[in-house]
Structure 1
Amino acid sequence: MIDRSLFENTETAFELKSDSELERAYFLFKMISSEPLVRIGTAATNFALKAHLPVEKLIRATVFDHFCGGVNEDDCLPVIDKLYTKGVSSVLDYSVEGKSVENQFDNALAKILKIINFCDEREAMPIVVFKPTGFGRFLLYQKKTEGVVLTSEEEAEWGRIVGRFDAVCKLAKEKDVEVLIDGEESWMQDAADDLVEEMMRRYNKDVAVVYNTLQLYRWDRLDYLKQLHKRAKADGFKIGMKIVRGAYMEKERERALDKGYDSPICENKKATDDNFDETLNYILQNLKDISVFIGTHNELSCYLAMDLMKTHNISKEDNRIWFGQLFGMSDHISFNLAAQGYNVAKYIPFGPVKDVMPYLIRRAEENTSVSGQTSRELSLLKTERKRRKL
């Protein structure tokens, strides 16, 4: 069995943080732990940005610099290099959300292609990520998912989405960079799943380059993986899969209630945790066909993955298994895993301060609603502050 006290090591967890950065992290998580403060802060920040008040410097010095790498790729380099001194790789995540016109999708494509070339020059960046709706309209994915017949203009628009996906996956294959494609809402996801599978068939012949995402708060996702696995074995391609618990739970439940269909979300947290762990187990038993990026802040799931790797005699350095956490969170997991020799990457959001605010606000709200996450961060930061004083 793996040592269950590994994630208590705060010296390793926060080694890269200066005393002032440690204090800032403590202050931020203290603020985030209060739901009323998050609500007030969110409203005030949105107002200040819309009114063009000079608050960007303040945002940059606090929440932005804690959770984001910078405003552009070059700005992120010091963070990337610093993380890599401790064996933690970086996944640059262009976190500008909610775009809906063609030139914005083309700009997003250009940005991702630039990041792949950027990755090619740096050992510390073996992985790139994008959202399906970064490359095309949400409503078009929804129509495809619902089986609505597209107009000729929409067919042409869908063709452009396919072209953007293909351009990224093709270049990634050439440059030996892995591509993680995020999961989104269930009512558009089938169209995205089909498109990602098409890319896997093209580019995952020998090894997994293209990765889809399973949001395992959905009770149907393990079945989907098993069906995909059958097709992959029959048709001779590898599966790449990022596994996460999920990010749209309230929205999913509200829509299901509103539209009168069964919620796709597991009935409770335990069912979600069980689904995640069962899926992880299935993948590690089928590693010859499926590579995995384990995106989790859950310590028990990380311990389980380590136990399973030991049971199945899988090397810690096996490139088919990566652990991932968000920048600014769960350093006790990321840095302690990396110190043990596992493959670990931090998701590093970046983009103009104003454009990245929706992402940052969601992070703050998620931390407030995930019971235990913020209090765990706070208790570890407290322990490290005490250790340093001694």
Structure 2
Amino acid sequence: MQILQNTEIAFKIKTDSELRKAEIMFRMMSSPLAVNIMGMLAKLALGLRIPLRWIVKPTVFSLFCGGESLDEAKKVVEKLSEHNVLSVTDFAAENRRSEDEINQVITEIVAATDYAGTSEAVPFSVFKPTALAPPGVLEETCTFTGRQATDLLAAGKFRENIRILCEAAHKRSVPVMIDAEECQYQQLIDDICEEMMEIYNKEKAVVFNTLQMYRHDRHGFLKEAVARARKKRYFAGYKLVRGAYMDQERERAKKLGYPSPIHPDKESTDKAFDDAVTTCLENLDMTSLFVGTHNEESLLRLMEQMKDMGIPKDDPRICVSQLYGMSDHISFNMAAHQYNVAKYLPYGPIKYLIPYLIRRAEENRSVTGQSGRELHYIRIERKRRKKISKT
């Protein structure tokens, strides 16, 4: 744990005023009541088209997002790279409703991929599949079990949008991560991901699938997918995360009367995540691994495994990542010890990022959880700086 606890390294990128602002924001987010009220007001304001930019941008937006445009995000990328921390620029649009909006998203993601192709500080591109089809179309294309339904035309258009982005990434030799979605969509996305891997991953892992390890079927899926890739002789790329839709998944399963796809407790999710990391490391000759986690124990375990297996800290097939604005004690300390570390850096118009910001606030609302940990390290660093200023 000692390797992750140097707060001078963790917050070197932040000025005293930025550190104070972060402390205030995380203190607010440690209150479940405050988070619930802010979330309801934000959704209400969006529905009524009340401008939010004036209050959101200088507060929670600046803490968790890179900017309203790629050009704004580039400034944050440059700042992070000065401390050997990489970035994954993520145009965080969700659930676009019209064909024009979807085409705008594709154009933006291709531009971000072009940028990644010219910048050593941006090793990946990424996109959300739900940004590439209207919500109703995906609902019609998949049944609740995730099996493909009769709307083959809609499925074909969705697949083609994904192919365009994978082709752009392959052309620029930039690995692209396809984010995971809720269970009802994921089987279709998994099928398309493997199809794209087989096309574009002949020489290295360009296309990455994302596995949410809170699902009890994901480790088994991973082992089978790796076996298929080995048999068909292509490289496989996986982003491993614990997951982002737990409450929705359980509620949907209960409502529709099918077994919950989610592990029953945190311990089994943690084990599945760590086991999946091990599976990828054991197959590193033909897999690449992007470890998206804020869990200190999982990362300490990863570092120990890499050491035991003789894998260099900076092996290009392994990258770890945390969200921008969170877990800086992990990101900057691991980067200082030569591991490949990338901050997930969302950007885009504020109205597009409200759902993302609400999720971040909800993740941080327990004082004993993420928010409490952030406050712990921020307060240690502020105390350290005050002590130095007095000497």
Q: Same fold (TM over 0.5)?
A: yes
Question: Relative to structure 1, is the Cα distance of residues 49 and 257 closer, same or farther in structure 2, using a 3 angstrom cutoff?
Answer: closer
Partner of 2:282: 285
Partner of 2:271: 274
Q: CA deviation at 1:55?
A: 3.9
Q: CA deviation at 1:358?
A: 1.3
Aligned mate of 2:16, from 16, 19, 22: 19
Partner of 2:327: 330
* 8 Å CA contact 2:363, 2:370 repeated in 1: no
Pairing 1:1-390 to 2, within 5 Å after superposition: 4-136=1-133, 137-143=137-143, 146-147=146-147, 149-150=149-150, 154-368=151-365, 371-390=368-387
Q: CA deviation at 1:175?
A: 0.9
Q: CA deviation at 1:69?
A: 0.4
Q: What is the letter of the counterpart of residue 30 of structure 1?
A: R
Please report the RMSD computed on the Cα atoms of aligned residues, expressed in angstroms.
Answer: 1.6
Question: Relative to structure 1, is the Cα distance of residues 171 and 53 closer, same or farther in structure 2, using a 3 angstrom cutoff?
Answer: closer
- Name stretches of at least 5 consecutive residues in structure 1 with no aligned partner: none
d(CA) in 1 for partners of 2:82 and 2:280?
30
Q: Secondary structure at the match of 2:344?
A: strand
d(CA) in 1 for partners of 2:29 and 2:194?
38
d(CA) in 2 for partners of 1:347 and 1:14?
17
Q: CA deviation at 1:155?
A: 2.4
d(CA) in 1 for partners of 2:141 and 2:82?
41
Question: Relative to structure 1, is the Cα distance of residues 196 and 145 closer, same or farther in structure 2, using a 3 angstrom cutoff?
Answer: farther
- Percent identical: 44
Q: CA deviation at 1:110?
A: 1.1
* 8 Å CA contact 2:193, 2:209 repeated in 1: yes
Question: Relative to structure 1, is the Cα distance of residues 141 and 5 closer, same or farther in structure 2, using a 3 angstrom cutoff?
Answer: farther
Q: CA deviation at 1:156?
A: 2.6
> Which string of whole-angstrom CA distances, capped at 9 and with x for unpartnered residues, describes residues 358-380 of structure 1?
11011101222595211110000
Q: CA deviation at 1:311?
A: 0.7
- Name stretches of at least 5 consecutive residues in structure 2 with no aligned partner: none
Question: Relative to structure 1, is the Cα distance of residues 271 and 51 closer, same or farther in structure 2, using a 3 angstrom cutoff?
Answer: same
d(CA) in 1 for partners of 2:155 and 2:39?
35
Q: What is the letter of the counterpart of residue 168 of structure 2?
A: L
TM-score, structure 2 normalization: 0.95
Q: Secondary structure at the match of 2:208?
A: strand
d(CA) in 2 for partners of 1:115 and 1:141?
28
d(CA) in 1 for partners of 2:253 and 2:288?
32
Q: What is the letter of the counterpart of residue 293 of structure 1?
A: F
Q: What is the letter of the counterpart of residue 112 of structure 1?
A: I
> Which string of whole-angstrom CA distances, capped at 9 and with x for unpartnered residues, describes residues 329-348 of structure 1?
00000000100001111111
d(CA) in 1 for partners of 2:372 and 2:58?
23
Q: What is the letter of the counterpart of residue 10 of structure 1?
A: T
d(CA) in 2 for partners of 1:371 and 1:252?
24
Question: Relative to structure 1, is the Cα distance of residues 8 and 209 closer, same or farther in structure 2, using a 3 angstrom cutoff?
Answer: same
Question: Relative to structure 1, is the Cα distance of residues 75 and 296 closer, same or farther in structure 2, using a 3 angstrom cutoff?
Answer: same
d(CA) in 2 for partners of 1:375 and 1:20?
20
d(CA) in 2 for partners of 1:149 and 1:383?
54
Q: CA deviation at 1:100?
A: 2.7
d(CA) in 2 for partners of 1:7 and 1:140?
46
d(CA) in 1 for partners of 2:252 and 2:144?
18
**Worse-superposed segment, 125-134 or 23-32:** 125-134
d(CA) in 2 for partners of 1:379 and 1:13?
12
d(CA) in 1 for partners of 2:247 and 2:159?
30
Q: CA deviation at 1:56?
A: 1.3
Q: What is the letter of the counterpart of residue 38 of structure 1?
A: V
Q: Secondary structure at the match of 2:59?
A: helix
Q: Secondary structure at the match of 2:116?
A: helix
Q: CA deviation at 1:53?
A: 4.5
